[in-house]
Amino acid sequence: MTANQQIILDNRPQGEAVESNFKLVQGTVPALQDGQVLVRHHYLSLDPYMRGRMNDAKSYAAPQPLGEVMQGGTVGEVVDSRHPKYQAGDKVVGMGGWQEYSVVDGNAPGALRKVDTTHVPLSYYLGAVGMPGVTAWYGLVKIINPKAGETVVVSAATGAVGSAFAALAKARGCRVVGIAGGPDKCRYATEELGFDACIDYREHPDLKSMARALKEACPDGIDGYFENVGGYIFDAVLLRTNAFARVALCGMIAGYDGQPLPLANPALILVNRLKIEGFIVSEHMEVWGEALAELAGLVAAGKLRPRETISEGLASAPSAFLGLLKGKNFGKQLVKLTP
Amino acid sequence: MTANQQIILDNRPQGEAVESNFKLVQGTVPALQDGQVLVRHHYLSLDPYMRGRMNDAKSYAAPQPLGEVMQGGTVGEVVDSRHPKYQAGDKVVGMGGWQEYSVVDGNAPGALRKVDTTHVPLSYYLGAVGMPGVTAWYGLVKIINPKAGETVVVSAATGAVGSAFAALAKARGCRVVGIAGGPDKCRYATEELGFDACIDYREHPDLKSMARALKEACPDGIDGYFENVGGYIFDAVLLRTNAFARVALCGMIAGYDGQPLPLANPALILVNRLKIEGFIVSEHMEVWGEALAELAGLVAAGKLRPRETISEGLASAPSAFLGLLKGKNFGKQLVKLTP
């Protein structure tokens, strides 16, 4: 029997998430049944939404169960198959979780998808051409729906969602302004990701300062905002919105540890006639095909080539994940599971 | 020359608005020029939005200028006309302001509209079949867009907007729950306005208590909310929203005096995938025809017969207006200017 290292959620965070919430265990790969596929994971995706699922609170998704393998996106290679649609050697993307191998029901809709790595690196199917890319696409295209010449802003600008957002918005003729932590990330945003400007929130740690920086970076005001963070940055952006601006609310990472995160001045929603919409990309499967096609095209054309931060080996996943929550990663955070 | 009593905005409120912000002055009616129409006002409309315009703050509308006649909706009768479209005796609705007479340019688009008082009382054109009615219509139909069987909630339930909202929502097969101040208003809401339930916010003065009351009144959760007030009531409603609920944000009367009015938990917008949209009904003139036709039909059919609170004489307008801001009125607040 093949050994299969796994990471389970051992206990829930009390406030901030810590490494001891997770536990590395040794499993084995069971024998394949008819219709099943055995996948060896090359990369594991780490995403901010996972923090929310570590809590046992009412939310849009069921909490991650205690004692079970952490759920998460994976790309890898089919190593054995008892399903006619899959052969050994196929490159696939799925939700294999924090483990080296997964056994997948080949008939379950959406459980496994074969991908082409001719023009798109395999790992990108967890980022730019995966869930984060489609998240950026949905917020930009379906909620913000910008006209050429409008100004759009995204927080967590150099992450997997932010970098895809920039490429998609530039393709639509927008001015794109990012918000990120530190001068290196801001330089990366403007020099490599195509942002017209990027604001370092560490240099603008309060509402007034951030609002001033936004005024400078967005001389014509803000028409669309893609919110990943929450807190005073959200407040500052609302102060700079134009009439009829649209806000796509995708994450409030600043509030994941349970601290209260109020919105200071919701009256601005009325004053500026804003539309604010929260969404979960997995509830809009109908757009994935169109979105992934555009994203893959941008990658193939060299217009979307975001960096990745790759940590080595399954055991490194918890610390890499906690680093992601603190913004220590640079671009998409992955865990590499094969030598 | 005809005497014309007028009320001007003399100075701006410092915090709460007070009577001394206004000043009664004696004007005269100038001679009519070609194309002009002289209107004698029968009723002056008092509306919460006027409070916002008393401030000199950035908002969607220019502030009410100091030293000029307070702006506001009026209904009345043409007493003299040098415009072929209008004759003495015509009943008209317009924006004549806080004065006994107004001289109107008959060619200005939207400045004056002839109305039929066969089935609809003249004063209703300032309420149920006027701007407040269309406001309710826009928020319900264009933003909340409810399906039959859904639960919708409105704050300031017995006001001009709330009463129209109830009739429109019942016509669409919704469960309609109101929030109002005091047992008399709540009884009026359920016994006369058609609300299925009404919550007295005075009995539920904090978030927890209001959230409990909403749970009881909305056993299937809340699918749509029409916000007129803001503050802890808004917070409590968000706690009870179903996935994909819609919020029409039309007023935040609780914050008009400048006190901060944060939204406690905007993460709920994401958790419940809400859509929140602010709007100003005067920016959507394209719907007025359809909305007014439906509202007039409901009035004619006896399904929308809200009460009015009528104060007598122009000089009573300031105190009546301040009473409106404190919820002392019962239904639409008007000032009667003719004996």
Q: Could you say which of 3.30.1490.20, 3.40.50.720, 3.40.50.1100, 3.20.20.140 is the CATH number of the domain covering B131-282?
A: 3.40.50.720
Q: Which of A269, A281, A282 to mutate to test the interface with B (most CBs of B within 10 A)?
A: A269
CB-CB: which of A230, A271, A283 is closest to B266? A230
Chain B 126-185, residues with CB within 8 Å of chain A CB atoms:
none
A83 touches chain B (CB under 8 A): no
Q: Which residues of B touch A260 (CB under 8 A)?
A: 264-265
B82 SS3 class:
coil
Domain A3-127+307-336: give its CATH code: 3.90.180.10
Q: Is the pLDDT of residue A60 over 70?
A: no
Q: Which of A253, A276, A282 to mutate to test the interface with B (most CBs of B within 10 A)?
A: A276
Q: Does the predicted interface ipTM exceed a cut of 0.90?
A: no
Amino acid in the structure at residue A314: L
Cα A44 from chain centre: 13
For strand A74-81 and strand A91-94, is the pairing parallel, antiparallel, or unpaired?
antiparallel
A259 touches chain B (CB under 8 A): no
Rounded to 5°, angle at Cα B287 from B285 and B293: 120
Q: What is the pLDDT of residue A230?
A: 82
* Average confidence (pLDDT) over A26-55: 94
Rounded to 5°, angle at Cα B318 from B156 and B57: 70
Q: What is the pLDDT of residue A254?
A: 58
Q: Which residues of B touch A263 (CB under 8 A)?
A: 262-263, 266
A166 SS3 class:
helix
The secondary element (H helix, E strand) that includes residue A333 is: strand A332-336
Domain ranges of chain B: 3-127+307-336, 131-282
A160 SS3 class:
helix
Tens digits of residue pLDDT in A66-115: 999 999 999 999 999 999 999 999 999 999 999 999 999 999 988 999 99
Distance CA A90, CA A77 (A): 6
Q: Is the pLDDT of residue A253 over 90?
A: no
Cα B283 from chain centre: 15
List the one residue out of B332, B337, B300, B330 whose CA is nearest residue B316: B337
Cα Rg of chain B, angstroms: 20
Residue A212 Cα, gap to closest chain B Cα (Å): 17
CB-CB: which of B255, B261, B280 is closest to A273? B280
A-B C-beta contacts closer than 8 Å: 103
Percent of chain A surpassing pLDDT 70: 96
A315 touches chain B (CB under 8 A): no
CB-CB: which of B230, B260, B277 is closest to A275? B277
B264 touches chain A (CB under 8 A): yes
Backbone angles phi, psi at B4, to 5 degrees: -145, 100
Phi-psi region of A313 (alpha: psi -120 to 50; beta: other; left: phi over 0): left
Tokens 């200071």 correspond to: A264
Distance CA B209, CA B131 (A): 33
Rounded to 5°, angle at Cα A90 from A85 and A95: 85
Closest residue of chain A to B242, computed from CA coordinates: A60
8 Å CB contact between A196 and A219: no
CB-CB: which of B260, B263, B271 is closest to A60? B271
Closest residue of chain A to B239, computed from CA coordinates: A58
* Burial of B173 (C-beta count, 10 Å sphere; 0-12/13-18/19+): exposed
Q: What is the pLDDT of residue A256?
A: 59
Per-residue tens of pLDDT for chain B, all 339 residues: 789 999 999 999 998 999 999 999 999 999 999 999 999 999 999 998 899 899 987 666 779 999 999 999 999 999 999 999 999 999 999 999 999 999 999 999 889 999 999 999 999 999 999 999 999 999 999 999 999 999 999 999 999 999 999 999 999 999 999 999 999 999 999 999 999 999 999 999 999 999 999 999 999 999 999 998 788 999 999 999 999 999 999 876 655 566 678 898 898 999 899 999 999 998 999 999 999 999 999 999 999 999 999 999 999 999 999 999 888 888 899 999 998
Query: Are B250 and A270 a contacting pair at CB < 8 A?
Result: yes
